[in-house]
Structure 1
Amino acid sequence: MENLFEPFTEELEQDFQLRQNIKEIMTKIEPIDRKLSQMVQTYHQVNSTVTYQQLLDEIQPLKPQIDQLKLLIKPVLYYKYRDYWKFSITQISFSLIFSYWVEKKTLLKIDQVQLILGLDENKPGSFSLELEDYLIALCNLSNELSRYCLNCVIKQDYETPSLISKFISDLFAGFRLLNLKNDIIRKRYDSMKYDLKRIEEVVYDISVRNLIKK
């Protein structure tokens, strides 16, 4: 019986050590996530000066940490450990997508995000931004833009809400084409219609008050 369990001890020890190494790397990734989240919130301030380039500068220390994770995690074990970094990578992606839209008024695509973060192409076992995580980031974008839309009015920016309205309407229509199996994404997608409703109410209010320049 001892001979049977002896290999288990070694395997468990290796697994424990690997998890500790991942946690150590995450202590360097998570502060980057928090910093970007703080920067996103400053966009809602009246005198915000934050730029997309500043967010890009903040994520430079992220790439070496992702490279370390790639070295640690064999493709066959990727899904066993992915929950350690899944949330942070999704949130970092959202922050970049939001900042990019505010500045460029267009969507940062999944392959662009992967390139920026130094992630691999989206295929099984690769260290990538998974499609489901990208879709969650887009749901986060919808929610944040609905809030940003109202704050644009406070800042007397009456043009951007109409752009947000069209973009979120197109995004919502795009999601409707998907056969969503993931319960989390489906629930987040359902909440997008409330984001769109709030945005449309803001645009309507601007319109009836004749605040948009002809």
Structure 2
Amino acid sequence: MSETNNNNNSNSMMLEVNNIFNSFMNEMEEEFQLRQNIKNSTTVIDQTERKMNLIVQMAHTQNINNSKELYKQIVELATSLKPTFNELKALIKPFNYYKYRDHWKRHLTQIVFCLAFSYWLECKQLLKIEVIQNHLGFESTATKGSITVELEDYLLGLCDVTNEMSRYCVNCVIRQDFETPLLISTFVNDLYAGFRLLNLKNDILRKRFDSMKYDIKKLEEVVYDLSVRKLIPTQQQKQQ
């Protein structure tokens, strides 16, 4: 009788263990499928972001007047991502948002960069975060755990803009466009002043902000050289 009870207990324990591990297996399969679906969506975002970066690179070989259409092209690409981000919203529950956010965080930063840089070429102004969110189909008053352009994404994207501006400035001089470098220098200095108002404790943001000093130095050297050579148009020349 005792042996029968022991066998029953052993079978019961084995069944319980099997049930537990079967539930683990189901959870792991669901997690794997979810990650695959997220990967499929982020692959679309990655491909679109690469196209945006390719358009941005075209600006370096064009006159600034011909670069104004670039913003329109990049906005069209950004808008095309709305269904993809909606798919991600449907896949990811709010409490899992930060678990998977790294899958698309870098892409959002690059999208912010492409939009902000091309917008400056057209309007000579800073593109606001609310406009970027609108292009991508995000709510400006998104609740916690919702996919959106977070402040960190926006600021990191702007840091990339200053770096690209320093390169664009040099290419403007090569094309004998001596007026745009002065506009770029003013814009980047204003941007840097804005960053200095922030109490940056984030390690990544702090490092990227510090690197802006080198971009400003490079721009100042270009503007100084143009000034010494008297290649910057005077106010009187502009009026003529």
TM range (shorter): over 0.9
2:219: which partner in 1?
A: 199
* SS of residue paired to 1:43: helix
Counterpart residue number, 1:95: 114
Q: Could you tell which deviates more after superposition, 161-170 or 47-56?
A: 47-56
Distance 1:55 1:178 in 2: 29
Could you tell me whether the CA contact under 8 Å between 1:120 and 1:127 is conserved in 2? no
In structure 1, list runs of 5 or more residues that go unmatched: none
Gaps of 5+ in 2: 1-16, 235-240
Compared CA separation, residues 118 and 164, structure 1 to 2 (3 A): same
What residue number does 2:158 align with?
A: 138
Structure with bigger gyration radius: 2
Change (3 A) 1:47 1:171: closer
Deviation at 1:29, TM superposition (A): 1.5
Q: Which residue of 2 aligns with 1:35?
A: 51
Are the counterparts in 2 of residues 152 and 161 from structure 1 also a CA contact under 8 Å? yes
User: What residue is the counterpart of 1:23 in the other structure?
Assistant: 39
**SS of residue paired to 2:162:** helix
Q: Which residue of 2 aligns with 1:54?
A: 73
- Is the counterpart of residue 174 in structure 1 residue 206 in structure 2? no
Equivalent position to 2:178, from 152, 158, 161 = 158
Q: Indicate conservation of the 8 Å contact 2:112/2:158, yes or no.
A: no
What is the identity percentage for the equivalent residue pairs of Structure 1 and Structure 2?
57
Deviation of residue 46 (structure 1)? 4.0
1:74 aligns with 2:93: yes
Which of 30, 49, 53 does residue 14 from structure 1 map onto?
30
Taking the aligned partners of 2:181 and 2:123, their CA distance within structure 1 comes to 14
Q: Distance between the aligned counterparts of 1:60 and 1:128, measured in 2? A: 14
CA distance in 1, matches of 2:62, 2:121: 14
Residues of 1 paired with 2:98 and 2:134: CA distance?
Answer: 21
Spell out, residue by residue over 1:61-99, the C-alpha distance to the aligned partner (whole angstroms, 9 max, x if none): 211111111111111111111111111121111101100
TM-aligned CA deviation for residue 27 of structure 1: 2.1
Separation in structure 2 between the aligned mates of residue 59 and residue 141 of structure 1, nearest angstrom: 17
If the length of structure 2 is used for normalisation, what is the TM-score? 0.85
- Matched AA of 1:179: N
48-57 vs 110-119, which deviates more? 48-57
| Counterpart Cα distance in 1 of 2:222 and 2:143 | 40
Q: What does 1:103-118 correspond to in 2, within 5 Å?
A: 103-118=122-137
Q: CA RMSD in A?
A: 1.5
| CA pair 102-47 structure 1, distance change in 2 beyond 3 A | closer
Aligned to 1:4: 20
Stretch moving more, 49-58 or 27-36: 49-58
Letter of the aligned partner of 2:232 in structure 1? I
Which residue of 1 is the match for residue 228 of structure 2? 208
The answer to whether the 8 A contact 2:185-2:220 is kept is yes
